[in-house]
Amino acid sequence: MLKVFCMMFFCGLWVFSSKRKHLLMTLLSLEFIILVLFIILYYYCMMMSSELYMTMFFLSFAVCEGTLGLSILVSMIRTHGNDYFNSFGLLQC
């Protein structure tokens, strides 16, 4: 089971590194990586039969990260018209 989660994690890293010019795909791959890490953390807590408070903290930080990325995406689309990194200089953001 751990091999499947590791493969999913590395697939998310591969998409993150290969789609680095498109911000929406980057954010989606980051959310996928966070989801895989949450599943791994959940299974680890269940196997050790410990409390699930850590998973709640992890989910709250993941939601904050997703909200921040989405707000950056919306502000970039409003100012530049698209979310490709090659259409503008990074110093303008």
Displacement of CA 6 from its chain's centroid (Å) = 15
Domain 2-92 adopts which CATH fold?
Helix Hairpins (1.10.287)
| Dihedral, CA of residue 32, residue 73, residue 14 and residue 91, to nearest 10 | -150
Identify the CA nearest to 35 among candidates 57, 3, 59, 64.
59
Q: Could you tell me the residue ranges of all domains in the chain?
A: 2-92
Do residues 86 and 25 touch, judged by C-beta distance below 8 A?
no
Q: From the CB of residue 67, how many other CB atoms can be counted at a distance below 10 Å?
A: 10
Q: What is the pTM of this model?
A: 0.79
Q: What is the pLDDT along the chain (93 residues), one digit of tens a residue?
A: 889 999 999 999 998 888 777 778 888 899 999 999 999 999 999 998 888 888 899 999 999 999 998 888 888 778 777 766 655 555 454
